[in-house]
Structures are given as C-alpha cells and as structure tokens.
Structure 1
Amino acid sequence: MGAPFFTEKSRPPTETAILSALGGSGGAWRELFDGIRAQHPDVSERWGYYTDGKSWLLKASRKSKTVFWLSVEQGAFRVAFYFPERLAGTLLASDLSERCKAEIRRGASSGRLRRVAVTFGPRRGLRDVMTLIALKKTLR
C-alpha cells in the first residue's frame, strides 16, 4: 500500500481534497459511497486522526460495530475489514471475487482477527466491498 495522503492532524479531509488526491479513482469513490448510502443506510461514517498511523482514517460503523476502515493515498484508497478468524471459511464460500479470496487465503491472522482489504483504483473493488459490508452486518 502507498503512503497515507492525509497526514496533517490540523487538516481533516474534505470532499474536494479527497477527490483531488484520488484523481481518476474519484469515480470509484463516488460510486462506493452512493452504493453504501443506497444499500446500507444504517452505516455511518466518521473521519478521525489516529496517532498510531499518523493519518486520517474513515471509520464506517453500524451502531457500535465497526464495519470497515478506509484510508486515502495518492490516486487510490483502501477499505479494510476485520473478521473473526473462525469466519474465514464463510468468507471463502461467499460471492467475493477470486482476487479477494486469494488475499484471504494468503493473509495472516492477527490473533483472532483476519484482515481483508480492497484497494480501489479507477472502477475496481466495488462488488467485493459491498459483499463484505453485507457479510460484516450479518455474521457474528
């Protein structure tokens, strides 16, 4: 993954700055959030500055449960989900793309959680993210 784009604590990301940083991936950004708002209106978004990574991250939540984390880099953005390790088989049996399933297979778990990340470039990754949001909301 590239370096985070929004690293100044005193300058939170704005829609204009995000679209400028994303360039050609701005369409994927709009499509993702239009899809989330249409299909998952109960998911809320909040930007926060996190000192451990010294950057701004978007946290998407449903009630008190974190659905995903999002970071912006130059020309792209990454959406990361964390699932309990015991659900790896369920994720592999889902409608995720083979590329995403390959990441799940080779990804190492950190304790009891398994990270699944989707990097967006221009028009890539939307279907996997929408599938992962639906899984995150239903699996326990």
Structure 2
Amino acid sequence: MKTENPIQLLREEEVKPTDIVLEAALGKDLFVVYTKLLEIICSEFQMEYEWRFYKDGKSWFCKVVYKKKTVFWLSIWAKFIKTGFYFTEKTRGGIYDLEISTKIKESFKNADAIGKLIPLILDIEKGQQLADLTEIIKYKKSLK
C-alpha cells in the first residue's frame, strides 16, 4: 500500500520493545494509537499479545492470540504500525461482507497467496483506522 520504501524498526534483538522503546520508535501521536490498539485487543476482545524477536525476519514481531489461535501479527515501521491477518481461500470471502474501507477490500482482492494463506495487511497511521481493524478482528475471531 505504501509508495515510498518503508523502514521496519525494532531490528536489534537485544533492545526489547518496552513502552519507552516503542514510544521513541513511533513518536507520541502514533504511540497513542498503539496503546489504543492494545486496549482494544485486551479489553474488548480478551486477546493476549507477545513480542518476540524472530531471527528469520530479523526483527521484533508481536503475535496477537485468542486462546491458542493466532489472530494477527503486528510490527513497527517508520510512520506506521503494520498488522497482518492471514486467511484461507475458504474464509477469504467473508472479508468482502465487512463494513471496512473499500481500499482494504481491493488490496486484499489483489493479494498474492503465501502458500495456502492470503495476507490482509493494514498499515495503521491514524486512530480512525482502528475501526476497520476492529471489524477484521471480529471476523477472524468468529472463524473456527
């Protein structure tokens, strides 16, 4: 979705993504969006999250889970928070019924499958985008 070359942050294994590190990386305004996102996943959806350094991706990623099911992945980039949901061909169609941005639906429609999974990627730059994220979380959690 981005035209410039985005820069992924949190690439040093020894620097854990504490709130202080995340606020420095994101800036004050985007850090507020991040804390609101955490409030939504923990309070509204009773999900848990865990930051972990992945050697294959050479950076810190946050896995958001409900019970044992991975709902989405989160990573920190210069100027935005990237979230990645993965759907199968069978569950893909439900995305088009959601009340979310047409731009997201178009991007998802054109997404290339990674193996059997189709990625739905959101680059969150503003708090208003959390409404779309919330709708996608509801759908993903409803899947068996």
The TM-score normalised by the length of structure 1 is 0.92
* Residue-pair matches, total: 139
Instruction: Please tell me the residue identity of whatever aligns with 2:32.
Output: G
3-state SS of 1:4 partner = coil
> Which residue matches 2:39?
34
Match of 1:128 among 122, 125, 132: 132
Aligned amino acid, residue 132 of structure 1: I
Q: Which fold has the larger relative contact order, with Cα–Cα distance below 8 Å and residues 6 or more apart in sequence?
A: 1
Cα distance, 1:124 vs structure 2: 4.2
The CA deviation at 1:103 is 1.1
Q: Which runs of 5+ in 1 are unaligned?
A: none
Q: In the alignment, what sits opposite 2:108?
A: 104
Preserved contact between residue 98 and residue 136 of structure 2 (Cα < 8 Å): no
Unaligned runs of 5+ in 2: none
Distance 1:97 1:8 in 2: 34
Q: CA deviation at 1:37?
A: 2.1
TM-score of the superposed pair, with normalisation by structure 2:
0.89
- Identity across the alignment (%): 28
Shift of 1:104: 1.0
Per-residue CA distance 1:82-123 (angstroms, 9 max, x = gap): 111222211111222111111111111122211001111132
Is contact 1:82–1:115 with CA below 8 Å preserved after alignment?
A: yes
SS at match of 1:129: helix
CA distance in 1, matches of 2:113, 2:79: 28
